[in-house]
Amino acid sequence: MAVYTEIGDGELQAFLKDYELGTLLAFKGIAEGVENSNYLLHTDAGFYILTLYERRVKAEDLPFFLSLLEHLAARGIVCPTPLKGRDGVALRELGGRPAAIFSFLDGMWVRRPQTVHCAELGRALAQMHEAGRDFPMHRANALTVADWRPLHERAYEAASEPDESLHAFLSDELDFLENNWPKDLPSGVIHADLFPDNVFFLGDALSGLIDFYFACNDFFAYDLAICLNAWCFEPETTFNVTKAHALLSAYEKSRPLTQEEREVLPILARGGALRFLLTRLYDWNTTPPGAFVTRKDPGEFVRKLRFHRSVRSSSEYGFDL
């Protein structure tokens, strides 16, 4: 949750003059999104979300993100759709920050995803991958295999009480992944952060995908590997193969995996676990315990990584249940 930038009413009125949204009726900061400030906006034309981009999102990446959302929405993927101003431009400025207005998306994220949600996720993920195939812009993944070792070292150096055994374990894992990461797999635009809080449901039906601010060009199957990590473990970090089967088989209805994609899935899953382990570890080591931001325990992803290291064959992910 986050509302960082305070916007005055006069400033907002002036900003809205560039849109065809009628009179401003209400404006409230909402507790959603960690990187950005989000506001509920009510005008004569309806309810919207206004996003101000803070700190972590790079301004030069915003055209990619906004164009992608527009592209996906035009192809039937339900996601926040950027509204254009009278001049046709969606990315504007408010309060000294990049800003955009989006359609209001109904739905709630599911705190305890069940098998039915994993199936819905698989279906939507494949559709998103297909819908992004003709997206003309490109953004490299800034958090892929080459970026993990420097991040690992920065996290280690920032620790007040460095964990030597964890450092050795992760160094060993990095050696393996750097040597075995696939060079070429079916690729395109991936979400790269599709955790449960970024997927909305109405009842058991998936109603939208949000928070595309890690989206980039990478292996489609890596997006699936991230979802395996994010959706298919129980709270005590045991792997639920039924949920994984639901995710993978629903995905493959739209886009069957190649033999090579199936074979390297355990490696991609190790990479996915390590990527979130490292960002959480870095945040853990650089965030004072008393700070307002909730620190997420990196240990969860150490356990997930250990599971993927124990996998001997892709079939253990439940392809053929």
**CB under 8 A: which stretch of 8-16, 56-64, 170-178, 226-234 binds a copy of itself?**
8-16
Q: Yes or no: say if 42 and 28 are a contact pair by the CB < 8 Å rule.
A: no
Nearer to a copy of itself among residue 7 and residue 244 (C-beta): 7
Q: Pick the binder of a copy of itself from 5, 18, 30, 186 (CB under 8 A).
A: 30
The tokens for 239 are 């792997």
Note whether 47 binds a copy of itself by CB under 8 A.
Answer: yes
Q: What is the smallest separation between the CB atom of 206 and a copy of itself, expressed in angstroms?
A: 14
Task: Read off the DSSP letter of residue 283.
Answer: H
Give the DSSP H/E element, type plus range, for residue 41: strand 36-43
Nearer to a copy of itself, 9 or 320 (CB): 9
Phi, psi angle pair for 53, to nearest 5°: -90, 120
| Min separation Cβ 172 and a copy of itself, Å | 37
Q: Kindly state whether residue 3 participates in binding a copy of itself, applying the rule CB under 8 A.
A: yes
For a copy of itself, give the closer residue by CB, 12 or 241. 12
Beta carbons of 125 and 251 less than 8 angstroms apart: yes
Beta bridge partners of 27: 41
Whether the CA torsion 117, 216, 303, 310 is positive or negative: it is positive
Tokens found for residue 219: 């292996």
User: Which residue, 49 or 128, has its beta carbon nearer to a copy of itself?
Assistant: 49
Instruction: List binders of a copy of itself among 160-219 (CB under 8 A).
Output: 202-203
CA distance 100 to 18: 12
Interface with a copy of itself (CB under 8 A), residue total 32
303/41 Cα distance (integer angstroms)? 41
Q: Which of residues 65-124 bind a copy of itself (CB under 8 A)?
A: 104-112
Q: In this complex, which beta carbon is closest to a copy of itself, that of residue 137 or of residue 202? A: 202
CB 117 within 8 A of CB 200: no
Q: Is residue 146 part of the contact set for a copy of itself (CB under 8 A)?
A: no
Task: Evaluate whether 206 touches 235 at the Cβ level (below 8 Å).
Answer: no
Under the binding rule (CB under 8 A), the answer on residue 242 touching a copy of itself is no
CB nearer a copy of itself, residue 31 or residue 320: 31
Task: Count CA atoms within 13 Å of residue 183 on its CB side.
Answer: 1
Q: Which residues bind a copy of itself (CB under 8 A)?
A: 1, 3, 8-10, 12, 23-32, 40, 42, 47, 104-112, 202-203, 290, 292
